[in-house]
Amino acid sequence: MSTFYVTTPIYYVNDKPHIGHAYTTILADILARFHRAMGDDTFFLTGTDEHGQKVQKAAEARHLTPQEHCDDTVKRFQELWERLGISNDDFLRTTQERHKKVVRAILQDLYDRDLIYKREYKGHYCVPCERFFTDKDLLEGGLCPDCKRPTGEICETNYFFRMGQYRDFLVEYIQTHPGFILPDFRANETLGFLKKDLEDLCISRPKSRLSWGIELPFDPDYVCYVWFDALINYISAIGYRGGEEAKFAKYWAESLHLIGKDILTTHTVYWPTMLHAMNLPMPKHIFAHGWWLTGNAKMSKSAGNVVNPMDMIGKFGVDPFRYCLTAGMVPGQDASFTEESFILRYNTDLANDLGNMLSRVVKMAFKYFQGKVPPCGTLEEIDNELLSEAEKAVPAVREAVENIKLDKGLEAAMNVVRAANRYMEKTAPWTLAKKGETERLATVLYTAAESLRIVSALLLPVMPEKMKELRLSLGFAPEEAAKADYAALASSRLVSGTPMRDTPPLFPRILAEKGDAPCCRKGEAPAKKETPAAGKQEEKAAEENANVVTVEDFFRTELKTAEVLEAKKLENSDKLLLLKIKVGEEVREIVSGIAKHYTPEEMVGRTIVIVANLKPAKIRGVVSNGMLLAAKDGDTLKLVTIDGGSFKSGIPVG
């Protein structure tokens, strides 16, 4: 049996949970559920970060003590996680004594070993980030390099952790441990940061300025810096220095920290150097995902565009929200949130593909086989093809989970559903029924149901409630419906004759109330779930037009504007240009076969149109992340551009 330990960042209690918090926690939950289903000894930790200036200020504003404020606001996170079906094994609050005593023990130990020392500090301080910066760290105008807000000058005596001395160790560790920081480009970002001198880290705040924190065990006039305290949660929760050293050793060796890209430095520089000073091994993986943007803009309270997960749960339901979030982000890259794109994904993947497939199978089993799993006769080639496609998805999903590419895992599972729908069209069980070919009809329905059995197991960690419903419909016993055993997935089979369960549509389509718009837009009538009868008509029309691409299909391809920042010829190629492009806030590289038609100089500064969600591919050793659009007529090639416009980059095209 393997071991798996996954953590989320611990969230600040002063903020309301938003879609970014929900994303990381859902990702961790899905990974934990997958690993449990693979039989791994799994531990999933989340929690809240409750010390520091922001909390102290928020409590003061409410005329509460900081502890009262935390006890009240922590509930928002706990309630949301319960609502989202998060299966964490522990929830750590940094104000708990079990955590504070570990932080104190570590501080004392580092102080005794002269790894923490006292000195006067003069420099710049960013209050919202609670971080110190030197002159060279600051952006123009003295702005904070992280949040871009003004910093203040500060002169203060404080305690420092000798972080700077671990620079060479860390650089070497990162270089010799591929997979330590994921995706790879985040490892490069950290190495870039480490090119400069690494300063020692200020780990104290004088109580005269901030009292809400863990008191330094060797100086009662100071509290511990909130990040130094917070990072330790990952080990205090699993028993480090808490009398559970065996538990700690077991889980720590297999640890995965999921974080957002904005907290990369604290996790890939501060934390590893702290661990090294404590003589502890590094976490196995630190994975930084990108940001959810509202359309193309950064979510922020001031812009009023923060997406509240509770609202989305209300609109889509818990499981579809979990699915759409997971499928909607290529982990590592930024993703754009729009309600429209979620509705499209819901309708395409869940209502059309998966929901319709299930209802076709169940309805026909009820109509022709008394609501029982039909008998399986001799399998034909087409049946075996579908079954083998379903079986092949099991290792593909497993690989995606192991590489934290959950969007790819979902794609592998959904490809089986799409194959099953094609199978139904080719085998046409309704025609078999009309012709009275009952034995063949039974085999076809059995095969289709079998493919759904496998898919349902693969999707259980993502949509636990909906997949349980689906499995109950396929005749699973209630105690079996909610759990998947991946080891037995390929060897077990549905048992013919088992009573099935007829249910209303699992994923009723969501349509805008007026007209035939594919989705609901802001300011328009709210989305409503479609009636099953309307769904049938649409399904029929779709069957008749099998060669036509639906608007949902079309919008699966994300076309966006992009600005070319740099361009050069790819070595040893006269056809390929390597372009560095900006797509909204994101910078990426694409390789394009346009060198014979455009010079690098001609490309720089242009706004082009790219396929933004194309699977990255390695071309001549370079990862190309997207594809530009161009039209080719014989030997002439012309770029697709925006008509006369000077559009920003990252604007959707469609």
d(CA 67, CA 54): 13
| Minimum distance from residue 547 beta carbon to ligand MSP (Å) | 39
CB of 13 to ligand MSP, least distance (A): 9
Residue 296 or 592: which CB sits closer to ligand MSP?
296
Judged by DSSP in three states, 553 sits in helix
What is the smallest separation between the CB atom of 132 and ligand MSP, expressed in angstroms? 17
Q: Shortest Cβ distance from residue 256 to ligand MSP (Å)?
A: 14
Regarding beta strands 607-611 and 559-569, do their DSSP bridges make them parallel or antiparallel, or are they unpaired? Answer: antiparallel
Instruction: Decide whether 325 or 612 has the Cβ nearer to ligand MSP.
Output: 325
Answer yes or no: are the C-beta atoms of 309 and 84 closer than 8 Å.
Answer: yes
Distance CA 641, CA 654 (A): 13
Nearer to ligand MSP, 46 or 347 (CB): 46
Based on CB atoms, which residue is closest to ligand MSP, 326 or 352?
326
* Angle value at C-alpha 378, between 376 and 381, nearest 5 degrees: 115
- The Cα–Cα gap between 481 and 500 comes to 12
Residues in contact with 503: Cβ distance below 8 Å, sequence separation at least 6, in sequence order: 362, 469, 472, 473
Taking the mean position of all CA atoms in its chain, how far away is CA 69?
30
Which is nearer to ligand MSP, 23 or 446 (by Cβ)? 23
Alpha helical stretches, state H, 84-156: 97-112
Nearest 10 degrees: CA dihedral of 456, 460, 464, 466?
A: -20
170 versus 299: smaller Cβ distance to ligand MSP: 299
Find the shortest distance in angstroms from Cβ 260 to ligand MSP: 2
Q: What is the helix (H) or strand (E) element at residue 132, kind and residue range?
A: strand 131-133
Whichever of 194 and 263 has its CB closer to ligand MSP, that residue is 263
Q: How far apart are CA 374 and CA 386, in angstroms?
A: 17
> At closest approach, how far in Å is the CB of 291 from ligand MSP?
4
Dist CA 98 CA 472 (whole Å): 42
Binding residues for ligand MSP, rule: CB under 6 A, are: 9-12, 15, 20-21, 23-24, 49, 230-231, 233, 259-260, 262-263, 291-292, 299
Omega before residue 217 within 30° of 0, cis:
no
CB of 84 to ligand MSP, least distance (A): 15
| Nearest residue to 380 (alpha-carbon basis) of 426, 335, 419 | 426
Name which of 23 and 81 has its Cβ closer to ligand MSP: 23
**Ordered DSSP codes for 442-472:** HHHHHHHHHHHHHHHHHHTTTSHHHHHHHHH
- Min dist CB 219 to ligand MSP, Å, is 24
Cα Rg of the chain, angstroms: 27
HSE on the CB side for 275, CA within 13 Å? 24
Q: Which of 133, 160, 164 is nearest to 146 (CA)?
A: 133
Q: Min. distance of Cβ 299 from ligand MSP in angstroms?
A: 4
Taking the complex as a whole, the smallest distance from the CB of residue 457 to ligand MSP amounts, in Å, to 29
Please give the Cα distance from 302 to 305 (Å, whole number). Answer: 8
Which residue number, 49 or 538, has a Cβ lying nearer to ligand MSP? 49
The minimum distance between CB 300 and ligand MSP, in angstroms, equals 9
Question: Toward ligand MSP, which CB reaches closer, 266 or 403?
Answer: 266
C-beta separation of 461 from 37 below 8 A: yes
> Rounded to the nearest whole angstrom, what is the least distance from the CB of residue 109 to ligand MSP in the complex?
20
Q: How far is the CB of 82 from ligand MSP (least distance, A)?
A: 18
Least Å from the CB of residue 23 to ligand MSP: 5
Q: CA 586 to CA 562: how far, in whole Å?
A: 10
Q: Please report how the helices 438-459 and 356-368 are oriented relative to each other, as an axis angle in degrees rounded to 10.
A: 140
Helix 19-37 with 66-83: angle, nearest 10 deg? 60
Instruction: Give the residue among 43, 48, 42, 44 at the shortest CA–CA distance from 21.
Output: 48
- CA dihedral 47→48→51→52, nearest 10 degrees, is 130
Nearer to ligand MSP, 230 or 579 (CB): 230
Select 11 or 111, whichever has its Cβ closest to ligand MSP: 11
Within 346-405, residue ranges assigned H as helices are 356-368, 381-402
Q: Which is nearer to ligand MSP, 149 or 632 (CB)?
A: 149
**DSSP states of 572-614:** T-SS-EEEEEEETTEEEEEEES-TTT--HHHHTT-EEEEETTP
Q: Which residue, 263 or 275, has its beta carbon nearer to ligand MSP?
A: 263
The whole-angstrom separation of Cα 179 and Cα 68 is 41
